[in-house]
Amino acid sequence: AIKSFLEIYKGTLTDFSSALKSHQEASARTEKFTQSCNNGAIPKRVTRQFGVPPFQFSKEAELVKDDRLKEAAKAMDDALVQCHTAAVTYLKAAYALNEEVYGTQADVKVATASFQNDIEAYVGSISSCVGGTDTAVWLPYLAAIMRALECDLRNASWDFADQHKRATEEAAAKATAVALAKESAEMANSAKPIGELVKE
């Protein structure tokens, strides 16, 4: 029984670590999409999905382009604006829901409750196999396991947050260093005579 408890315990920790990563990735996707919609902008993934079918006019028709075409073009533009706006609203809701679901899976209390359900189901199935022994004898042991698991889950959550914070800071520092190096190179080149730059 102890070996099986340990397997369920390890499985819970593995699933929780995976949920933390998935939640972080979902949060990053949500943030990226939200930024692409700043100031009412329509993201390219939306405009590419909902656009105007190409049409090649003959030279003669190109010259005419009467009011019927202008009216139809305006109606189409108005419809596309509505379509794009609705698509952005839908995607914002979808990203938010996705992030929320992953966030629930990465919650310590939810993971602990899930582990408790798995353990109780296992104890119940074993008890019935051996003639319905009293499962109360396991309660002190299960309580101790639950406390240990909650500590491990909280530590995993803190470690993940710390690693993500450090990785983000390192990436930002690297991007800053690259930008400064590029700026220095451009300034050095601007100070060179044109003839020297041509030779390079």
pLDDT tens figures, 75-134: 988 999 999 999 999 999 999 999 999 999 999 999 999 999 988 888 877 777 666 666
pLDDT tens figures, 173-195: 888 888 787 877 777 666 555 55
Instruction: Name the pLDDT band for 3 (thresholds 50, 70, 90).
Output: confident
pTM of the model: 0.71
Tell me the two tokens of residue 186. 């451009």
Tell me: pLDDT of 6 over 80.
yes
